[in-house]
């Protein structure tokens, strides 16, 4: 199938281009990019793309799958469909499933299922809804677990998992044992796979559910000091400096954390870092509603934290924006704020909301946002993203920043609805992806 996208706004962080072009796509490749393409075959499907945005496919660094173990929250099929509908062409799931992704057999099983879903999606000919594009399934990547047991004291067979094809290693939970972290960094050094740590001192976190500050006092919720994150980051940085193994720091959420990471990068430590999309959009004031989908871990930051995180992403101190899609059933989330499990969905909502509140307000350029959602997360995984140029693979996302739609069950692929935007109108929607 050959498609001609006419007068589409091409945003390419690889080539640093933000211009209007015609783009010809055929047989999974970009055939031509020009200001005007007139020489086309009679069977070419022509699309008027004025007002639409075309960029490299989005890459999610880490999210959660319900399957295996909690299929009522999310299956691999619904996760990949949600990712595609949100513009993602690659999605990486954390190993905290049940059973955990801690052995090569399970890695192979999930990879095979991801492949089956991809083949099924390619054969689909009908849409479930006018808002849900019938696109190929994204590439599924798996993070391999670092530890075997709940206490986190025994390492998995890291080399076997690396050979099985995991994208990297992470438990997706705070580390408790610094001696084990040191050993992990020593073992992983020759394997050449990313390792990601979530810095959070659970003794300092205690029973807190909200970032320490004036709003926590006002809303009467147990606070979590910023030092719960920053002391853990400082410990990671010391180990990286001593051993030299590259590390990715997940879920950065405080202004002081940004400062620590900036200093470490200035000292040429081999680190990358990410924050999540909700930590860029909302601060502690939003918790006034006590909506349980605003109970996150780490918690939403104070206004000064959000300012620092946004600046960190724009300057590249914070390399990437992760989605950290965390589905829960309705019953699990219908509790008191402090009792509800932390986390929110986001694969289908992140791009529209980030575009609306960061790009349309001119706080971010379109290139800065797209870089943090595509090129940079891929680089954090040791992967590459192709430029939007002739002869390159067509791994692309077509986005309409003006399309209005409503966040409700029939317009979502994900099985869960734990989002504070449920029932609200949204501006911006993905039209199509090419994988």
Question: What are the C-alpha distances in Å from 147 to residues 52, 152, 402?
Answer: 45, 5, 45
Residue 61 in 3-state DSSP? strand
Which residues are CB-contacts of 15 (< 8 A; sequence separation ≥ 6)?
387, 388, 389
Residue 213 in 3-state DSSP? coil
Return the closest-CA partner of residue 216 out of 302, 333, 341.
Answer: 302
What are the tokens at 435? 């994988």
Contact 306, 298 (CB under 8 A): no
Residue of 22, 60, 283, 324 with catalytic role: 324
Segments of 94-232 assigned E as strands: 139-144, 168-169, 196-197, 210-211, 223-224
Q: Which run of H or E residues covers position 113? A: helix 104-123
Q: Is 305 a catalytic residue?
A: no
Residue 53 in 3-state DSSP? strand
Which residues are CB-contacts of 27 (< 8 A; sequence separation ≥ 6)?
2
Q: How far apart are CA 90 and CA 374, in angstroms?
A: 9
Residue 47 in 3-state DSSP? strand
Contact 375, 31 (CB under 8 A): no
Q: Is 424 exposed, middle or buried (0-12, 13-18, 19+ CB in 10 A)?
A: exposed
Q: How far apart are CA 378 and CA 88, in angstroms?
A: 12
**CA dihedral angle for residue 188, residue 192, residue 198, residue 200, rounded to 10 degrees:** 40
Q: Which residues are catalytic?
A: 324
């Amino acid at each position: 199938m050959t498609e001609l996208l006419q007068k589409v706004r091409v945003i390419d962080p690889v080539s640093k281009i933000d211009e209007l072009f015609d783009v010809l796509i055929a047989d999974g490749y970009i055939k031509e990019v020009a200001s005007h393409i007139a020489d086309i075959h009679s069977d070419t499907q022509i699309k008027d793309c004025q007002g639409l945005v075309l960029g490299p496919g989005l890459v999610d660094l880490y999210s959660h799958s319900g399957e295996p173990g909690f299929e009522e929250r999310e299956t691999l099929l619904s996760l990949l469909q949600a990712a595609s509908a949100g513009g993602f062409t690659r999605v990486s799931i954390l190993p905290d499933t049940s059973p955990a992704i801690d052995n090569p057999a399970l890695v192979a099983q999930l990879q095979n299922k991801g492949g089956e879903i991809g083949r099924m999606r390619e054969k689909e000919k009908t849409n479930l809804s006018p808002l849900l594009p019938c696109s190929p399934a994204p590439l599924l990547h798996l993070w391999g677990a670092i530890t075997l047991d709940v206490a986190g004291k025994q390492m998995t067979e890291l080399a076997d998992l690396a050979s099985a094809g995991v994208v990297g290693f992470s438990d997706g939970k705070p580390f408790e044992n610094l001696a084990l972290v040191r050993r992990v960094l020593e073992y992983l050094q020759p394997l050449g796979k990313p390792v990601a740590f979530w810095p959070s001192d659970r003794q300092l976190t205690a029973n807190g559910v909200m970032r320490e500050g004036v709003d926590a006092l006002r809303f009467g919720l147990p606070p979590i000091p910023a030092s719960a994150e920053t002391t853990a980051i400082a410990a990671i940085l010391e180990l990286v400096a001593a051993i030299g193994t590259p590390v990715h720091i997940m879920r950065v959420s405080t202004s002081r954390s940004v400062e620590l990471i900036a200093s470490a990068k200035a000292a040429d430590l081999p680190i990358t870092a990410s924050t999540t999309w909700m930590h860029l959009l909302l601060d502690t004031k939003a918790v006034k509603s006590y909506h349980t989908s605003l109970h996150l871990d780490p918690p939403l930051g104070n206004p000064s934290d959000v300012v620092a995180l946004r600046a960190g992403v724009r300057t590249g101190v914070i390399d990437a924006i992760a989605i950290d899609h965390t589905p829960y059933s309705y019953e699990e989330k219908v509790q008191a704020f402090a009792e509800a499990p932390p986390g929110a969905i986001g694969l289908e909502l992140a791009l529209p909301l980030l575009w609306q509140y960061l790009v349309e307000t001119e706080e971010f350029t379109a290139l800065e946002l797209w870089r943090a959602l595509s090129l940079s997360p891929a680089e954090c995984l040791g992967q590459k993203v192709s430029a939007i140029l002739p002869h390159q693979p067509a791994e692309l996302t077509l986005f309409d920043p003006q399309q209005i739609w409503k966040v409700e069950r029939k317009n979502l692929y994900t099985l869960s609805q734990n989002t504070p935007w449920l029932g609200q109108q949204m501006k911006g929607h993905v039209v199509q992806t090419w994988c």
